[in-house]
Amino acid sequence: MLLITVASGFESKAKSEINKILSNPDVERLFFKGILVVKNVFDDTNALKLLKETPTKYISRIFPIQKIIKISKDVSSINDIINEVIGLNKISSSDVFRVSCVRRGMHNFSSRDIELALGKKIEETTGAIVNLKDPEKIITIQIFQNECLIGVSEKNDLITKKIIESRKYLKGERPFTRAEFKLVEAIKEFKILIEKESNALDLGAAPGGWTKTLVDYGVNVTAVDPGELHESLSNNPRVKHLKILAKNLPNNIGQFDIITNDMNLNPIESATIMNSVAKYLKKTGIAIMTIKFVSNNRKKHLNDTIEILKENYSNFKHKKLYHNKFETTLFMIKKE
Ligand SMILES: C[S@@+](CC[C@H](N)C(=O)[O-])C[C@H]1O[C@@H](n2cnc3c(N)ncnc32)[C@H](O)[C@@H]1O
């Protein structure tokens, strides 16, 4: 089994590329962008060799995988992962290894937590030694919300290729985040009239795509995010950056015509924060938020979110926009 990262937006083309190189593999697209899992490969070593040697356009990295397990967002998942890795029996006392974890989704643990706990436990149980700089074996842990892919391989079996074709922008037109398209699209879709000199509160603003879009409409934006805004916004007189979490907003931040929220939080948490900031929205002020799908149960995420928001908002409209396939965008008005 192989995990292959590919150019985002080119998953189908990458899939055809893989199908041409390997005979009849079973290529699955994961819920997250740019990720393919190739199952049913007759011989992993041969498949790796073929993928490495054949020129490709869309493939980036290839990881051999031995196991896929279901995990939860709780810290207890770390132990489940440790047990699975030990159970693979692929590390011996003479090995020098490194654990490399990449985590996508929302969990109560970090990639580093996994790397440290797993490294320590393997050293204890097998006698092998961690060497971050020059390992012979790599333990790959790739987490996609509730799925954890595990691989133990020789360093040379991890392949990195150059992506030849990816989305291109004309010179000077490359946005610093594609997120800004989402707001532009939402404004059009929901036929929102954005008044010049109005005030917006932008929650989860970094790196600043939505803030920039609002500023381009002549809006004064209070951008809330512990993260940094793009340098082009740092001295913009229309932008005030509060480097804090939304739940720590001070009481005196004023009143706003628009609240936008693109925080990467689970929908329930995000909706609860929207209720707590409703007091900063002027009478009949509008709000736009993205509902991040944390599972395939999209309808439930949408319904649960609206149910919470009904306390302070009404006139809900929602649309899964072209630029945010993994979310739904919600428009609403402050309840009178
Ligand atoms: C998808 S990004 C936002 C992109 C942004 N709309 C843009 O156009 O550039 C999500 C952001 O939410 C922020 N975030 C997550 N939880 C937050 C919280 N509780 N309070 C404030 N910001 C938060 C993250 O730091 C991250 O920068």
Domain boundaries, the chain: 2-160, 179-334
Q: How far is the CA of 60 from the centre of ligand 1 (A)?
A: 27
Q: Kindly tell me if the per-residue pLDDT of 16 is higher than 70.
A: yes
- Given the CA of residue 179, which atom of ligand 1 is nearest to it? 8
Residue nearest to atom 13 of ligand 1 (CA): 204
For ligand 1, mutation pick of 263, 274, 290, 293 (most atoms within 8 Å of CB): 263
CATH number attached to the domain at 2-160: 3.30.2130.30
Q: What is the mean pLDDT of residues 307-332?
A: 88
Q: How far is the CA of 289 from the centre of ligand 1 (A)?
A: 11
- Given the CA of residue 212, which atom of ligand 1 is nearest to it? 8
Q: How far is the CA of 260 from the centre of ligand 1 (A)?
A: 11
Contact 77, 31 (CB under 8 A): no
Residue 284's CB is within 10 A of a number of other CB atoms, namely: 12
Contact 175, 181 (CB under 8 A): yes
For 70-112, give the DSSP string. Answer: E--SSTHHHHHHHHHHHHHT---TT-EEEEEEEEES--SS-HH
Q: How far is the CA of 331 from the centre of ligand 1 (A)?
A: 18
What would be the CATH architecture of the domain defined by 179-334? 3-Layer(aba) Sandwich (3.40)
pLDDT at 62: 96
Average pLDDT, the chain: 92
**Element housing 182 (H / E):** helix 179-189
Contact 260, 210 (CB under 8 A): yes
**Helix count (H) and strand count (E) of the chain?**
9, 17
Q: At what angle do helices 179-189 and 209-216 cross, to 10 degrees?
A: 50
Residue nearest to atom 8 of ligand 1 (CA): 209
pLDDT at 207: 92
Q: What is the DSSP letter of 151?
A: E
Which CB contacts under 8 angstroms, 24+ apart, belong to 48-55?
48/2, 48/157, 48/159, 50/21, 50/22, 51/2, 51/4, 51/18, 51/21, 51/22, 51/159, 51/161, 52/159, 52/161, 54/21
Residue 35's CB is within 10 A of a number of other CB atoms, namely: 20
Residue 131 near ligand 1, beta carbon < 6 Å: no
Residue 208 near ligand 1, beta carbon < 6 Å: yes
Residue nearest to atom 16 of ligand 1 (CA): 263
Q: How far is the CA of 281 from the centre of ligand 1 (A)?
A: 19
Look-up: residue for tokens 């500023």? 215
- Express each pLDDT in 78-130 by its tens digit: 999 999 999 999 999 999 999 999 998 889 999 999 999 999 999 999 999 99
Residue nearest to atom 23 of ligand 1 (CA): 204
Non-local (6+) Cβ contacts of 301 within 8 A are: 267, 291, 293, 294, 295, 328
In our burial notation (b when 16+ CB lie closer than 10 A, e otherwise), range 217-254 reads bebbbbbbbeeebeeebeebebbbbbeeebeebeeeee
Q: How far is the CA of 262 from the centre of ligand 1 (A)?
A: 6
Q: Kindly tell me if the per-residue pLDDT of 163 is higher than 90.
A: no
Q: Kindly tell me if the per-residue pLDDT of 250 is higher than 80.
A: yes
